[in-house]
Every structure is written in structure tokens, then in C-alpha cells.
Structure 1
């Protein structure tokens, strides 16, 4: 099937504001709930260097995906660019990695919010898992209703969550305790790299928006502008919250299951905990909403292009709702949540499986941009993004075997389906 060319008008309905909100929701999302504290536990105050490194990486990374989305608006997103650059096998590999990462990551994201609900209500593991299950079903329903409804809901959610994050920082700042920070680098420089590998979770999302590029009214103008707005907002809010977490909670940050609640409670009191639980739910809905939408569209596009069974292809065109693919994403998330609950899996382990997949998507997507773009600033940014993605893969380590296995499965599917020859 012929892919859209550069500058092809979108057949969708997303405005710049809605697109920016979707991007902010995808990237900001659940990262604010636990990662400032987890990164501080791994690397101490030096974890701020990890945050800064990921923010700086986001500039070429977001710019690369915005450039490619504006030039080739298609629901296939990264897989479309990789196919143009490297052929069917590589496109299927990157597509499968992202498509399988979302159901695997959804329980971890939803359970982060579940911890805040449990903290506010005094519930335990059952409250955490129950909240996670409800969130998965709600996000599936939002997307099943269509992107128009999801985009409007996300626009309101992004505005509310940004205001509440600013409030959290403001009320916590008077409680800064410089004496509680401790050694700046308690676990050595290697811990900064380890923290950066975990923090990929906090910045995953730029690639999700590329699958929605065709849903914009004017992709060539709207995609770069929406991405730029989201990039500035995400950088400011993440860095402010991470710095506040370290300066206020100090060495106790890593021991908290609900660090955002702890920050709010210091400034407002115990009644802040229920309010923070609401924030956690909103953040999670925002993140999962965008990832479910992007993954469902990608699954339909992969089927359209022969990388998945044709049954999935319904809804691959711009403006259509890929309900069959969405059913697989939502159902897979519920199955993954069940396995997590029964096996008692650690959240960090689940997060690293997801971040390893996202890192491979970043690497192949950036490499495709290097090959497809003409010499200039955009291509230089793609080179930086590709090289940085290699560094992230090294910092993640063994969990990178997961996307390697998924990639092998994709290649095997193409071979057995008789579609293995690259175009």
C-alpha cells in the first residue's frame, strides 16, 4: 500500500492544543508518581543529572519524531518510517516492540496510581490491583468511543494536572531541608547511568504521538508545534518536581510508595492525600489514554501492511477507530495485570521490560530518520538521538533481551506468512 508523502494533509480532527495535551499526557504521565523517588534511591541527589540528561535527549528525540510525523503522517508511526528506510522486517520488529510494550506497561502504570489510592484510603494490595483494573477498562472505553472524545478529555486533563503539579512544588518548597539531602553521589557514577535507564519510562511517549500524526487537521504545521509545546512543559515540570522531591524528602524519598502525596501533605496536611490520589488517577488516565490510542492505531496499520493478521486491520485509516486492535491492547493489559498480581512481580522489573522496548523503538526510529532525511539540522538531531539511544540500551542491560525476543518473533511471523522479503 502506498504510504502518505511529505506534506499530505491529515484527514483527522486533532488541533494543536489537543495534540500538545496528548503529548504531555503521554510523556508526563505516571513518571511523576514514583520515578523522582526511585531515581533518588538509585543515585541519590546525583539523579538530577539523570533527569537532565533525559531532558536534553528529549530535544533531538522529540524533534526527530515530530519531523518524521509531519513529513509522513500515517497511523503506522515509527514502523512506517522504518519500513521506508530498512524494509518490512525491520518495520515489523519495531512495530511489534511498541505494540507489545503497551499491554506489558499498562499494569505498572495503573498500579502506580493504585498505590496512591491505597495510600489515601488505607487500602492494601487489593485496592492497588482493583484501581489498576478499573483504570485499564476506563481508558479502553475512552478510546473505543473515538479519538475526538479522547482528545477533548485529554485537553482538560493536561491543563488540570499541570496546575496541580505546580501547586505541589509550590506548597512543598517551604519545607526544603538542605541538611537532609546527604552525599551528592552516594553510589558512584554508575548509579547515574542506571537511574537514566529507569527514567526512560518517564520520557516514553514521543514515539506514541507519531502514530497519531495522521489524526491532525494539518500535520505539517501542527505536529512540530504541538511537540514543541509539550517538550517545554514536560522539561520544566519534571525537573522542578525531581529537584523538590530530593530537596524536601531527602534520603527518605526512595522509601515512600506515594512520594507526591508526602510532598502535598507537608504543605497542606493529611487532607491532601485524597486530592493527590485524584492527581495520580488523572496522570495515569492521561498516559494510558495516549498509549492505548497510539498502540491500537499501530496494530491496525501493522495488519494493513501484512505484519499482523488481517483481522486487526479494521480502523487503520485516519479518523477511524481501530476497535479490534484496541480490544487486543486492552485485553492484553488485563491479562498482564493478572500475571503481575499472581506472580507478585516487582514494578521496577515490569517497567524495565517496557523501557527496553521503547529504547529499541527510539533507536530504530532515529536510525530511519538518519537514512531518510536530507543533510541538515533535522538529520543531525536524528544522529544525536540514535547515538543516545544506544547509550540508553547499554544502561538498561539484560532487559534488552525482551525486545530482542519480540523482534525475532516478528521476523519469524513474516517468514512463515510468506512476507519476509523487504520492499
Structure 2
């Protein structure tokens, strides 16, 4: 049995993993959704504001990841700042978040697959399960294979975006002018803020890179480089795509929708475009299954979950097979529940988004608590300001992450009492 996770993720592999965490189903959906909330000029300013706002949070993740490279990820950050009880509480939130987000991504991917292959709507659930099982299979084979798939996906994304930009060069040029020479007529701060709050979800995923940092080669050097390079790649891809869509909005009224990008693709290429989108979502599912399996592995290691999930495969790949299989079971269970009880996709994502608000705040506090100098007094206030974008939709759904935090803290208390009871029995004096 392998004693620990192996450091086998290279700089290119880590960069592809990070991009795969971030760029998923939203890459082709959010540019059109932004236009539903405002004009092309407002959408362009929203993208710019969102990119600037996410930078401090990215720096927080890079800073904490360099100091605490562990498969526990965000849970390790919480433990460093607030102790083991906080680690258990945050782990519980994470364990309740991943089973919502990845099935939701598979539901989006399945919708595109139905178009690409001309399938009936009744095939939606089997296709969802297939996307999840493919992601699980790649992760069972080993991180090198999963990393290769993500690198191929990154090339697929770049090819699709560049192909669209080349075919719509005039639209791209018009969209770029919205950033270089903005027209402020009719633009209000509240409109830009509303669009930015929506687009912020296009940048969710970098926090999940933290679960793979324990497997990075030369983590002190590679981690910051991975975050920096992946940020540049994501910004370039989003800028090209959003610029093209915003530039086309004046002549193409149908682009202002989730499927708006598809209207810019020639009809005879739309099936291929849907297939490319399925491939991108599949790679994103691979990356998120990787993160979820490392989380469950870490939870088994610290006894929040049964220790069986902290066991690694007998081969040299060092894959936490039991944790990966737990991921598969939990994801399929959520998919089945969503199908039986008719839970909407938006419902799954909205609940998960509330959890991310809590997790981001934990990371910001951990950076403030453990940091010094500029990290503490400059970076964390900027990151907190950025996180305010996420506070627009706070409601009763916040009860879910609060309940998970409470459950994790209670599990820690029970564990401590058992350890103390066992210690007392072992060291108690013999009866006369």
C-alpha cells in the first residue's frame, strides 16, 4: 500500500488542472446571460470589474496554498487559523458542496449532448451518469491520465474560442472597443455591479486547486506559478469570447441568452459545437472529481469520515480509490434525487453558491490570521471587498452551510470525547 499521495503533478499539468477547475459550462453560457442584465457596454464593464475583483481572492489562495500544501485544501487553512474544530466544520461544508456542483455540471453537459447526438430528453439522466462515470474512470486510472485529459480539453477550449473569434473578427473588434473606448452614457454602477455579481461565478474553481497541492512537484515554486499562469489563460479566453459576443449583440439579438454563443456558430457546425462543449464539461467534471476525492481522502485521514476512505491503491499511482468510489456514489445519489424530486439545476447551484460564500470568507480570515505585513493589511481587505460581490443573494439557503458547519464542529466534539474516554481507560489506575 502507498503510504501517502505522490508528488507527480507538473507545472503544465497543474495549470491545465486549474484552468479545468474554472472554465466549464459557464464559458459559453455566461457571456449571453450577462447581456440579459444589461447592454453590451455594461456587460463589458462587468467582465472587467469581475476580473479585477477576483485577483485578490486568487492571491489569497496562492498565498495559503504555498504555506499549507495539503490534500485537506481549504480545511487545512481553517485548521491553521482556527484550530481542528474549524477544520472539521469546513470539511463538512465541503463534503456537502461537491455532491451538488458536479452533478449540476453533468446535467448541463447532458443537455448539450442531447443536441450533439440527437437524443431524446428521456436519455438525459443516463447521459448525466455517463459523464460522471467517465470522470471517475479517468481519476481511477491515475492523476497523469486525468491531467492529460485536462490538457487536451484546454487545447479544445482554445481552438473553439479562437475559431469563433476568427470567423467573427468584426464582432471581436467591436467588442474590444467597448473596453478600450467605453461609452459611459446610460451606464450606472448598480448595473455594472449586478452583472459582475453574476459573472463572478465564471471564476469559481481556483479554491478547489488547493486539494491537489499536496501532489505538486516543487510546491514552493510551482503553486504560485500555476495560479498566475492559469489566471492569465482564463482571462484571455474569457476576454476573447465575451468580446466577440458583446460585439455581436447589436446585430444578433439572440445572443442575449444562455445558449447565445451557439447562435454565432454556423448551423452546420452547431452539432460539433455542442460536442466540443460536452468535452469541455467532461474535463471540468474530471477536475472536480479529482478535488472531491482528495477532500474525502483527507476527511478519512482526519477521521471525519471512516478511515477506509483514506486508503490508497496498491499500485504505484497512489490513487485514493475508495474516496473516488465514494465520490461516484454520492454524485449518482444526488442526480437520482434531483430526477425523482424534480429539483431544478438552478436550485442545486444556488445552494452550492451559498456554501462558496462561507468558504471564501474562511480563506480570507485564514490569510489575515496567518499572514504578516502586506498579506494581512492589504491583501485581505481587498479580498474581503471582492467577496462582497457574492453577498447579493444571501437568503434562507444560508441555513444549509450553517448546519454543515455545526455538524462538523459536533463531530469534532464527539471525536475528542471518545479520545479522552479512551485515554482515561488506558491510564486509569487498577482497582484494588
1:44 and 1:251 in contact (8 A); partners too:
no
| Cross-structure match for 1:295 | 292
1:84 pairs, out of 75, 80, 86, with 80
Alignment of 1:22-421 (within 5 A): 22-45=17-40, 46-174=42-170, 190=190, 192-249=192-249, 251-255=253-257, 258-265=259-266, 270-315=267-312, 320-377=318-375, 380-389=378-387, 391-398=388-395, 399-418=397-416
Q: Residues 388 and 149 of structure 1: is their aligned pair in 2 closer, same or farther, counting only changes over 3 Å?
A: same
- SS of 2:416's equivalent in the other structure is coil
| Cross-structure match for 1:7 | none
Q: Quick one: distance in 2 between partners of 1:113 and 1:33?
A: 12
- SS of 1:356's equivalent in the other structure is helix
Q: Residues 277 and 213 of structure 1: is their aligned pair in 2 closer, same or farther, counting only changes over 3 Å?
A: same
Q: Which runs of 5+ in 2 are unaligned?
A: 420-432
Give 1:255 deviation, angstroms: 4.1
1:236-294 alpha-carbon deviations (Å, 9 max, x no partner)? 211322232233245533445x33322222xxxx2211221222122112211111111
TM-score normalised by length of structure 2: 0.84
2:297 and 2:320 in contact (8 A); partners too:
yes
Q: Quick one: distance in 1 between partners of 2:329 and 2:389?
A: 30
- SS of 1:290's equivalent in the other structure is helix
Q: Quick one: distance in 1 between partners of 2:377 and 2:11?
A: 24
Give 1:100 deviation, angstroms: 2.2
Q: Residues 186 and 251 of structure 1: is their aligned pair in 2 closer, same or farther, counting only changes over 3 Å?
A: farther
CA RMSD of aligned residues (A): 3.1
1:200 and 1:359 in contact (8 A); partners too:
no
1:364-389 alpha-carbon deviations (Å, 9 max, x no partner)? 01210111122135763233223322
Highest CA radius of gyration, 1 or 2? 2
Q: Quick one: distance in 2 between partners of 1:107 and 1:188?
A: 37
| Cross-structure match for 2:13 | 18
Q: Quick one: distance in 2 between partners of 1:356 and 1:420?
A: 33
1:200 and 1:355 in contact (8 A); partners too:
no
Give 1:320 deviation, angstroms: 2.5
Give 1:192 deviation, angstroms: 4.5
Q: Quick one: distance in 2 between partners of 1:305 and 1:285?
A: 30
Give 1:165 deviation, angstroms: 1.5
2:109 and 2:282 in contact (8 A); partners too:
no
1:198 and 1:396 in contact (8 A); partners too:
no
Q: Quick one: distance in 2 between partners of 1:385 and 1:419?
A: 37
Q: Quick one: distance in 1 between partners of 2:321 and 2:184?
A: 49
1:38-90 alpha-carbon deviations (Å, 9 max, x no partner)? 23223443233333233112222222212222222111111111101111222
2:255 and 2:263 in contact (8 A); partners too:
no
Q: Residues 230 and 313 of structure 1: is their aligned pair in 2 closer, same or farther, counting only changes over 3 Å?
A: same
Q: Residues 369 and 419 of structure 1: is their aligned pair in 2 closer, same or farther, counting only changes over 3 Å?
A: farther
Q: Quick one: distance in 1 between partners of 2:169 and 2:92?
A: 43
Q: Quick one: distance in 2 between partners of 1:125 and 1:188?
A: 41
1:42 and 1:187 in contact (8 A); partners too:
no
1:61 and 1:206 in contact (8 A); partners too:
no
Q: Residues 91 and 44 of structure 1: is their aligned pair in 2 closer, same or farther, counting only changes over 3 Å?
A: farther
Which sits farther off after the overlay, 227-236 or 244-253? Answer: 244-253
